[in-house]
Amino acid sequence: MSVLSRLRRASLRTGAGLLALTAGAFALDRAMPPDLSPLGDTSTLVVSRHGAVLRAFTNRGGVWRLPARVAQVDPLYLKMLLAYEDRRFRSHPGVDPAAILRALGQRLTNGRIVSGASTLTMQTARLLAPRRRSLVGKLTEMLRALQLEGRHGKDEILSMYLTLAPYGGNLEGVRAASLAYFGKEPKRLTPGQAALLVALPQAPSTTRPDRFPDAAKAARDKVLRVMARAGVLSEKRAHEAMQAPVPVRRRAMPFDAPHLARRLLAERPAKRARVIRTSIDQPLQRALQNLVRHAAGALGRKATIAVLVVENRTRKIRAYVASSDFFDRERSGQVDMITAVRSPGSALKPFVYAMAFDDGIIHPETIIADVPTRFGDYQPENFRRVYHGEVSVRVALQQSYNVPAVKVLDRVGPGRLAARLRQAGARLTFDAGRARPGLPLALGGVGISLQDLTMLFTGLANGGIVGPLLSRARVADNAPAGRPVVSPAAAYTIARILEDAPPPADFVADRNTRRARKIAYKTGTSYGFRDAWSVGFDGTHTIGVWVGRPDGTPSPDRYGRNTAAPILFRAFGLTPAGPGPAPGNAPPGVVLAANGDLPMHLRRFEKVDARGLAAPNPLSIAFPPAGAVVELERKREGSGYDALPLAASGGRKPLKWLVNGRPIASNPYRRQARWTPDGEGFVRITVIDVDGRVASIISRLK
């Protein structure tokens, strides 16, 4: 056989052997692929609209393993990591022959291991499937590294390492370490911070800074010196970084919007993505959490606060503060008071009036009587039992008078109002013994959550269109659309009325400020001071506030205007200033007119009272009683007598008081007056109401 033939046969055998080896390696790779399951067992993250972590949950093993990608990490850290761990990472196939030869040469020369030959890909293979350190284990890592390189790109492999690298305790991955040690994402790191994150995975159990700060500093400084020699850092920057202290404690993981995060986690279908993207604006969320925490300190031990912020145009929730302190057991901090059902007090009155505007029953300038009125066996009372006589509908809503609201609801129909609100998506709860909605609906005789109440007010800000509030960053195309609860004209009218409501104490009316910011808002207080509410909107956001005790016990003298409204105004101060709550141009159907220019049926409400409600109680003088002998009190200092209190009941305001036929100074819209006697003797006291009714008594002063 010729030499040429022998060479040809040898070549064929070699080729066949290489082909068989390649086929065998390919078959083995397919039969035994790398186990990537640890990458699927990461922490579930609830993140903000911009991707910042709001709340993280440990994985099944109780480990903080936050998924990380190359794009989420500071480029300086990546540069330092590759320079320190694997300079030829971008060029080798997973195993670095040059590093292996160098390590063997150092071992033979020095009789010990001076530097390792593990590439980042080999380290990633070991993190995916940990093994005992041995020759077999090392060879297995090399084979797995080659598999990884054949299946994944360099950035994918680097992202695996960034997710799985150990940092001490139950911290895995560069994001978990950066949040725990520096309180921030690793997107922007100082040279010292980056060096520490490079060093820790080398010996995480003995160099973790919260337990071994000196060892951590030594490991960090070693990395910095190597970076200076490699030219990654200048000598000056490396020296400055060495002067910085290392963190000596672990920080808590981010804990923003914890109630919403818990809710979304429970709603998440099984085996779905480990990242839940919300619509929350993290800076606003944190600012409101601080505001609520500070405000709750003045409310007593059991009281808490909930605040919900919604962007009007998108109906997306931008802040969700469901309690003042999630971990405060005395305040029932883990109870979500945004979804809890409570009595809204007067907060639903705008919808009573809005439906009446749409029905053509009233106009903002319609005159309505705020006087004691009985509706069958139901007699509503004003706050502090003070009545104001004839007022405009505008004033009645701005001042939240109860009797006018019940009168209007009686015409609109409580069943119609409840049905309209339910059709808009609001979940209303009535007492089990109540067969159908009644007139108390106007004053809080219903249960509703802060979320649904805020949703309804968002509808007023959106021209009367109410839609479900959205908490996810991305909304499917088939997300429920809004539906009208009132007309654009009624929504506009309500906004114009409520934007002129007097602000809470300690806040200046917008018309008296240089940079006016109009907020249309309404307050509410449930029976027995159990719940204080304030909901308002401008052209950009709607904000709802609830204050109270989760256990439902009363908080005396805390009501919507003095407790919830100040928090509402401060919350608006944390949002960007937007346009006013009402559009610049009135929509079709809005009638701008004074009372005298209205049609006759809209000038006064009582004239069209279809049910002939009971007239005011007869006018009488409650004090002093007729024929009574009243003992005068002399002033403690000087001469003369103390003022004598006078009180009337019934009749209609305004009232005029006379003593011995002469008028005395008094507030005509109050039923009380004070008169200072000039001596003893008999006196005739007279009161006259707006309809000319007269009540008069004679008493003796001594």
Instruction: Tell me the C-alpha distance between 567 and 345, whole Å.
Output: 18
Active-site position among 43, 118, 279, 346: 346
Query: CB–CB of 50/157 below 8 Å?
Result: no
Place of tokens 């020699």: 229
- Coil vs helix vs strand at 612: coil
Residue type, position 700, single letter = R
Instruction: Tell me the C-alpha distance between 664 and 645, whole Å.
Output: 12
Tell me which long-range contacts 510-517 makes (C-beta under 8 A, separation of at least 24): 515/577, 517/572, 517/577
Instruction: Tell me the C-alpha distance between 562 and 597, whole Å.
Output: 37
Instruction: Tell me the C-alpha distance between 272 and 276, whole Å.
Output: 9
Which stretches within 399-485 are classed as H helix? Answer: 402-412, 414-423, 450-461
Place of tokens 């060879």: 139
Active-site position among 85, 141, 172, 185: 85
Instruction: Tell me the C-alpha distance between 638 and 610, whole Å.
Output: 58
Instruction: Tell me the C-alpha distance between 385 and 389, whole Å.
Output: 13
- Supply the DSSP string of 629-669, one letter for each residue: EE---B-SSSSSBPPEEEEEESS-SS-EEEETTEE----TT
- Coil vs helix vs strand at 64: strand
Instruction: Tell me the C-alpha distance between 698 and 685, whole Å.
Output: 6
Residues present in the chain in total: 702
- Coil vs helix vs strand at 587: coil
Instruction: Tell me the C-alpha distance between 688 and 651, whole Å.
Output: 8
Cα dist from 511 to 506, 516, 519, 581, 680, whole Å: 15, 6, 11, 14, 51
Instruction: Tell me the C-alpha distance between 355 and 608, whole Å.
Output: 17
346 as an active site residue: the answer is yes
- Supply the DSSP string of 270-333, one letter for each residue: TT--SEEEB---HHHHHHHHHHHHHHHTTS-SS-EEEEEEEETTTTEEEEEE--S-TT-TTTTT
List the helix and strand counts (H, then E) for the chain: 22, 24
Instruction: Tell me the C-alpha distance between 439 and 421, whole Å.
Output: 15
Catalytic residue positions?
A: 85, 346
